[in-house]
Amino acid sequence: MVELVLFVVFAAAALFGAVTMVWARNPVYSAMGLMLSMFSVAVFYVSNGAHFIAAVQVIIYAGAVMTLFLFVIMLIGVDKAETRTENLPLQRPAALGLIALFGAGVVVAGRSAWVTGRTVSPGSPIDGSIEEVGGELFNNWLLPFEITALLLIIAAAGAIALAFFRDDEEGDA
């Protein structure tokens, strides 16, 4: 019962944050809406036993990534004059039709079995503590973990290269 109430409250918060993000004219409000969504999603992680992922979500997403976004929004200025008019004719009716089709698909899928394949084992619930996740990460998922490290290094080097080489030295970057 407590779980249901928690889910309803934070699902409403997540959806409100997401809609705010999409609709707000001011990009700062959009970033704040996404931050609200991220915090609510962290609550869902906790209710699924993923305590470490929830902490990572709050620290990385709601902390680092959103700070980066706010920095960039402040750097390039808050442009509220974004046009909302559609240039393509028939796009909005077509979008409504596709949304209806998608909703019908969800309803049809909801009437059949939600999860196919493996049945639920009556094992103990996953405890997503740092110990548990770290043990699996460094034993069975070591290679993907190292590849992720490589990816992060490449991304950091790429970001530095993008910022470092100005366009007055053409071709160097």
Residues forming the site for other proteins (CB under 8 A): 3, 7, 11, 14-15, 18-19, 21-22, 27, 30-31, 34, 37-38, 41, 44-45, 48-50, 52-53, 56-57, 60-61, 64-65, 68-69, 72-73, 75-76, 79, 82-84, 102, 106, 110, 114-115, 118, 120-121, 123-126, 128, 132-133, 136-137, 140-141, 144, 148, 151-152, 154-156, 158-159, 162-163, 167
| Long-range CB contacts for residues 79-87, cutoff 8 Å, separation at least 24 | 79/27, 80/25, 80/26, 82/25
Q: Which pair of tokens denotes residue 3?
A: 């779980």
Instruction: Check if the beta carbon of residue 44 is closer than 8 Å to that of residue 7.
Output: yes
H-helix segments, the chain: 2-23, 27-47, 51-56, 66-76, 91-111, 130-139, 142-164
Nearest distance from C-beta of residue 4 to other proteins, angstroms: 8
Could you give the C-alpha distances from 58 to 11, 67, 86, 112, 136, in angstroms and in order? 17, 12, 36, 35, 22
Kindly tell me which of 167 and 169 has the beta carbon lying closer to other proteins: 167
Kindly tell me which of 19 and 104 has the beta carbon lying closer to other proteins: 19
Nearest distance from C-beta of residue 160 to other proteins, angstroms: 8
Kindly tell me which of 104 and 152 has the beta carbon lying closer to other proteins: 152
Kindly tell me which of 72 and 104 has the beta carbon lying closer to other proteins: 72
Instruction: Check if the beta carbon of residue 166 is closer than 8 Å to that of residue 159.
Output: no
Nearest distance from C-beta of residue 89 to other proteins, angstroms: 16
